[in-house]
Amino acid sequence: MLRITAARVWKKGGLATSNILTHRLELSFMPTGKPTAVLSAESISPITWDTATGIYTVNTLVTKAVIGRCAGKTTKLDVVEFDVKANPHNFAALTLNAVDGQPLNRSGRLLLTVAGNVENSEMGWNSNQTSVGTHWGHAPTICEGITAKITLNTQAKSAKAYALDSAGMRAGEVPAALYDGKISFNIGSQFKTLWYEVVTK
């Protein structure tokens, strides 16, 4: 049986696998049987994967994300800056989305999600931390709290941030400062959540 992978088809079409994450692509299957790939020059993909630093980012008008080995680093994506503090696993995943579909710096309501290491209680990892075998552990699931400072350029005159519970309800206000066209606030394990809401007017 002939096995054909997507990477092999892209390669036959004349593209590197890395192009999948950096550009819009078009692949046509010609009557000759040879695939022809075209690298779009219209726009570069908003998704980047930096293999050297181990950081994956998404940078659009309504969504920003930084995922991977971003702990202990500051990542700036246009109007948003994620200053993530160091942690034992050197990993974090942060996404900021405009709930109302407006550009982030004009949005009236934004959702921030933040996660670090997540695993079941008493999950049994092997010595290399590559597998748990059949030792999946049990509830409750334990989520690592990520400490970070989020700064967003905004056109708003007022802004507030809230920690959300698992049902999406406000569990408490997060101190936030609005100064010189920027809102900034600090998050951390003390808020006991993976979700934050930012409301601006």
| DSSP string covering 57-100 | EEE-SSEEEEEES-TTEEEEETTEEEEEPP-TT--EEEEEEETT
Tell me the pLDDT tens digit for each residue of 5-14.
767 777 777 7
| pLDDT at position 11 | 76
In the chain, where the domains are located: 1-44, 46-200
Cα(187)–Cα(196) distance, rounded to whole angstroms?
A: 9
Output DSSP code: residue 166. T
| pLDDT at position 61 | 94
Cα(121)–Cα(146) distance, rounded to whole angstroms?
A: 19
| pLDDT at position 128 | 87
Cα(95)–Cα(103) distance, rounded to whole angstroms?
A: 14
Cα(130)–Cα(199) distance, rounded to whole angstroms?
A: 40
| pLDDT at position 51 | 84
Amino acid in position 78:
D
| pLDDT at position 85 | 97
Number of other CB atoms surrounding residue 94 within 10 Å: 22
Architecture in CATH of 46-200 = Sandwich (2.60)
| pLDDT at position 49 | 85
| pLDDT at position 111 | 98
Q: What stretch of H or E contains 48?
A: strand 47-50
- Taking only Cα atoms into account, the Rg of the chain, rounded to an integer number of angstroms, comes to 21
| pLDDT at position 45 | 75
| pLDDT at position 176 | 96
* Weakly modelled stretches of the chain, pLDDT under 50: 1
Please name which of 192, 116, 102 lies closest in space to residue 152, comparing C-alpha atoms: 102
- b (16+ CB within 10 A) / e for 189-199: eebebbbbbbb
